[in-house]
């Protein structure tokens, strides 16, 4: 055997056995991550049989470090057989990162992902120790599920200069729309539709800007909500009742302030690494799998109502399409994991914010639904006629918010 052939064969084998990097295609949070002013490890924790046992610790800002930008670098290694798992990172009651895992192989995988945490600056700079909770519910049962997720969270700090007349001004207050369970060392996700999704918050009287940021993802009968059918069709295939999940493929996440609709968002379908075909997500996971997106609703027009020094109710709700409802809006299945945070900036030169002439007009979404679907199966079992109203246009007209 030629030596060169042997060498390339050996290198092929060692490559095949080396730990595979599984990436997510995404724009890095910063063009250069290589030269931080300082860095520190936040925690390292092995998630074996970890159902209901999150990592709980404390975050302290670095001492003697001048910085403006904080980037978290989450790194995970895993080896064996394991499902994809959802994981959430919390600063106290506030969810700051929702991620999911890649599925490991027998020879092992690893990944690192970076997220810019600077919007949470007020929590991260807090001189009181800030509780940090990372939940990754995993199962090890000895023979079927063997893959532990070994996770390390590291913080990188950069002394960036922010352009513009105001420079960097992170929100002075951040409030949680969550179950606020961190005192008992657990995460604070609402499970909808079972939970209330609501909290009462009292704003500072001199608030000048307020933005609500929401995270929401479907789970169980709602993981593939975008393939669900209108409820009246769940028994379409005789003998296969219950195979189709209901409430339609439309989902709207709503924010209500004192019971009034203040904004909505339509979630983006996330395919986790166990979804559709697990082989498709290695070595590149689906869009947003390592950083599930949040969406923001500017509630500044509501400040006239919110700066009266009284508590106000902030509620999150997930709704679907219901053919029998007048406005088309109906319930959803189990379940959606939902949480939100409210970023509030204050005007330090003023004691009381006032507004004039606020009124809101919100249109209902318009649905045009063409349900005609005909099939005919001949006596010999051949599908002979498959008539569809393909020409009919199905559309959804988004809501319109005018303040
Ligand atoms: C993130 O952490 C991993 C593991 O410690 C390391 O290999 C990687 O270089 C880090 N990434 C950055 C941008 O610092
Ligand atoms: C919560 O976790 C912290 C940090 O690990 C620990 O010091 C504390 O005792 C825990 N509290 C409860 C109520 O379990
Ligand atoms: C991951 O954690 C498990 C359980 O603690 C441990 O046996 C294994 O050696 C760890 N793997 C790595 C690469 O650190
Ligand atoms: C919010 O306040 C109202 C009125 O006091 C009360 O009925 C409701 O239970 C409170 N909701 C929460 C989530 O605390």
pLDDT digits (tens, 9 = 90+) for 140-197: 998 899 999 999 999 999 999 998 767 889 999 999 999 999 999 999 999 999 999 9
Using 50, 70 and 90 to split pLDDT, how confident is the model at 15?
low
**Domain finish residue from 109, 129, 162:** 162
Residue 131, pLDDT above cutoff 60: yes
pLDDT digits (tens, 9 = 90+) for 221-278: 999 999 999 888 888 877 777 788 999 999 999 999 999 999 999 999 999 999 989 9
- Is 152 a pocket residue for ligand 1 (Cβ < 6 Å)? yes
> Does 175 lie in the same domain as 157?
no
> Does 187 lie in the same domain as 93?
no
> Does 154 lie in the same domain as 64?
yes
> Does 227 lie in the same domain as 139?
no
- Is 235 a pocket residue for ligand 1 (Cβ < 6 Å)? no
CATH assignment of the domain containing 193: 2.60.120
Residue 62 lies in a domain: yes
> Does 40 lie in the same domain as 82?
yes
> Does 185 lie in the same domain as 334?
yes
pLDDT of residue 387: 46
Distance (angstroms) between ligand 4 centre and the Cα of 313 equals 7
> Does 149 lie in the same domain as 38?
yes
- Is 185 a pocket residue for ligand 4 (Cβ < 6 Å)? no
Using 50, 70 and 90 to split pLDDT, how confident is the model at 379?
low
pLDDT digits (tens, 9 = 90+) for 17-51: 689 999 999 999 999 999 999 999 999 999 999 99
With the most atoms of ligand 4 within 8 angstroms of its CB, the residue from 181, 188, 200 to mutate is 200
In whole angstroms, what is the distance from residue 59 CA to residue 382 CA?
65
Q: Which domain holds residue 325?
A: 171-367
In whole angstroms, what is the distance from residue 213 CA to residue 202 CA?
17
Among the ranges given (45-49, 61-65, 97-101), the one the predictor scored with the smallest mean pLDDT: 61-65
Residue 216 lies in a domain: yes
Domains contained in the chain, number: 2
Residues 352-368, mean pLDDT to the nearest whole number: 80
Residue 383, pLDDT above cutoff 60: no
Residue 203 lies in a domain: yes
CATH assignment of the domain containing 117: 2.60.120.230
């Amino acid at each position: 055997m030629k030596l060169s052939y042997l060498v390339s064969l050996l290198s092929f084998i060692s490559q095949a056995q080396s730990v595979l990097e599984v990436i997510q295609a995404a724009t890095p949070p910063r063009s250069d991550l290589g030269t931080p002013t300082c860095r520190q490890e936040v925690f390292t924790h092995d998630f074996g049989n970890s159902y209901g046992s999150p990592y709980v610790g404390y975050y302290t800002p670095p001492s003697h470090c001048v910085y403006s930008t904080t980037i978290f670098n989450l790194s995970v290694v895993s080896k064996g057989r394991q499902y994809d798992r959802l994981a959430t990172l919390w600063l106290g009651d506030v969810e700051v990162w929702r991620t999911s895992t890649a599925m490991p192989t027998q020879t092992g995988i690893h990944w690192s992902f970076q997220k810019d945490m600077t919007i949470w600056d007020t929590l991260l700079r807090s001189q009181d120790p800030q509780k940090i909770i990372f939940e990754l519910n995993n199962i090890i049962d000895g023979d079927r599920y063997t893959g532990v997720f070994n996770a390390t969270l590291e913080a990188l700090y950069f002394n960036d200069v922010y352009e513009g007349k105001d420079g960097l001004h992170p929100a002075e207050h951040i409030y949680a729309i969550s179950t606020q369970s961190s005192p008992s060392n657990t995460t604070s996700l609402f499970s909808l539709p079972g939970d209330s999704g609501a909290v009462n918050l009292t704003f500072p009287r001199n608030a000048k800007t307020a933005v609500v940021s929401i995270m929401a993802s479907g789970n169980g009968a709602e993981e593939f909500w975008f393939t669900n059918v209108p409820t009246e069709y769940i028994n379409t295939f005789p003998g296969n009742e219950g195979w189709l999940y209901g409430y339609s493929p439309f989902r709207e996440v709503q924010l209500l302030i004192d019971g009034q609709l203040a904004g909505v968002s339509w979630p983006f379908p996330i395919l986790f690494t166990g979804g559709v075909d697990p082989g498709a997500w290695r070595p590149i996971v689906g869009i947003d799998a390592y950083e599930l997106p949040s969406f923001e609703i500017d509630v500044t027009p509501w400040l006239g109502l919110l700066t009266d020094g009284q508590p106000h109710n902030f509620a999150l709700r997930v709704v679907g399409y219901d053919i029998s409802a007048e406005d088309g809006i109906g319930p959803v299945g189990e379940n959606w994991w939902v949480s939100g945070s409210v970023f509030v900036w204050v005007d330090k030169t003023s004691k009381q914010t006032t507004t004039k002439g606020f009124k809101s007009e919100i249109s209902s979404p318009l649905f045009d639904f063409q349900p005609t679907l005909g099939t005919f199966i001949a006596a010999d079992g051949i599908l002979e006629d498959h008539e569809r109203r393909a020409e009919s246009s199905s559309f959804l007209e988004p809501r319109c918010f005018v303040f």
